[in-house]
Amino acid sequence: MKVTLINHTENPDRVCAAAAQSCYSEKGATELFEATSDDRAEKMIEKVVGMGHLSVVEHAHFTFSVEGVSRSLTHQLVRHRIASYSQQSQRYVSMDRAEYVIPQTISDDPEARALYAKAMDEAWKAYRELARKVPKEDARYVLPNSCHTNITVTMNARELWHLFRLRCCRRAQWEIRLMAWMMLAEAKKVAPILFSDAGPGCFRGACPEGEYSCGKPYDKADPPTEDDLMVKSSGARE
């Protein structure tokens, strides 16, 4: 999996802070933006977000390239509706080369891995044979959810917060959880104020999962490693 932040609103922290200040000031956002320091931006965002005025962080947009993930992941990802997506097309891109995601639970079990590899080999063999007889858009029906794909994702900061709250959680499926943490790391590099508290719900208090809580909250000061994120999820959220 490769996650890259390829574009974003310039100075996203200051943009959102200026927008927030403009609600309470006679000055326009242009003047407020120029006068806003990082310290001022941090105080302003903390204040308005704490009051529940989340619309101000919608002014910052972030575009990610997510590559080498499974169709299983993207089926979950596109359920986040306040976003723009452009996904690699199996109608126009040949899937001749067998590229797919292998869950760690399968790769760690020799018998399961052999069974999985056999199924993948058969799927791609059928695809190649069908692609010689019918259009690729019809041959693709035999390809599995594990098939590699690439997707471009654009979200505003508010929707990213929502994604991180759900998908960084231990109950999220392992692959999308790994992607979410990688996206969060990229976002923090360019907007450290906006995403200072972003992450699973347990970062900001009691677990929002109620009776479905995993009982193992993440430590905000000690984020998980990639190996931690590759393990099986603690729940069944799709």
Active site positions, annotated:
167
Q: Which two tokens stand for residue 20?
A: 């927030």
> DSSP code of 59?
G
Contact 145, 72 (CB under 8 A): yes
For residue 82, give the amino acid letter: I
Cα 155 from Cα 6, distance rounded (Å): 12
Q: Which of 201, 202, 203, 198 is nearest to 183 (CA)?
A: 198
Beta strand spans in the chain (E): 2-8, 61-70, 84-87, 148-156
Task: Report how far Cα 25 is from the mean position of its chain's Cα atoms.
Answer: 35
Mention every residue, 6+ apart, whose C-beta is less than 8 A from residue 130. Answer: 138, 139, 142
